Amino acid sequence: MSVGRVCSRVVATATPEESARVAARRMAEHDVGTLVVVEPDGLSRAVGIVTDRDLVVRCVAGTRDPETTRVGDLMTAPAHAIDEDTPIEEAVRQMAAAGTRRLVVTGPGHRMVGILSLDDVLELIIGETTSIGRLLQKQRPSIPA
């Protein structure tokens, strides 16, 4: 199965110049823990990723002012990307090699089309495992007592 079939196609974004507070509000509005950071040129090319944990650890716990601290100062860069036609197994290998839980999914022209999280992969595996379990249960021979 390809990354493009599993990834989330709705992606909340931020720009490097936005404040940490604006980013946190956007996360709350969209009920997400990750924003893909894109340049404000409208090309949808990811330059980094900022998570709710980044905001807490790098800003709030670090006693930085969320009003004046820029997302660009908190984000993890570069954003690791993967083509939407890549098999899931390769995506997992890339996540492990990069030590990341998220990959920006790209399509034609390397434009962002989604985001793949480790949670997306785990949901797929759980769904497949559940289906296999049901099949095995149906095929279990029933021997009358």
Question: What is the structure's pLDDT at 142?
Answer: 66
Place 110 in a pLDDT band, splitting at 50, 70 and 90: confident
Each residue of 50-106: pLDDT tens digit? 999 999 999 999 889 999 999 999 999 999 999 999 999 999 999 999 999 999 999
Each residue of 12-38: pLDDT tens digit? 999 999 999 999 999 999 999 999 999
User: Which CATH code for domain 3-139?
Assistant: 3.10.580.10
Distance between CA atoms of residues 60 and 109, nearest Å: 37
Report which secondary-structure segment, H or E, holds 17.
none
Domain boundaries along the sequence of the chain? 3-139
Question: What is the structure's pLDDT at 95?
Answer: 96
pTM of the complete model: 0.82
**Residues 11 and 38: beta-carbon distance below 8 Å:** no
Question: What is the structure's pLDDT at 55?
Answer: 96
Q: Rg of the Cα trace of the chain?
A: 19
Work out the angle at residue 137's Cα, subtended by the Cα atoms of residues 135 and 141, and round it to the nearest 5 degrees. 115
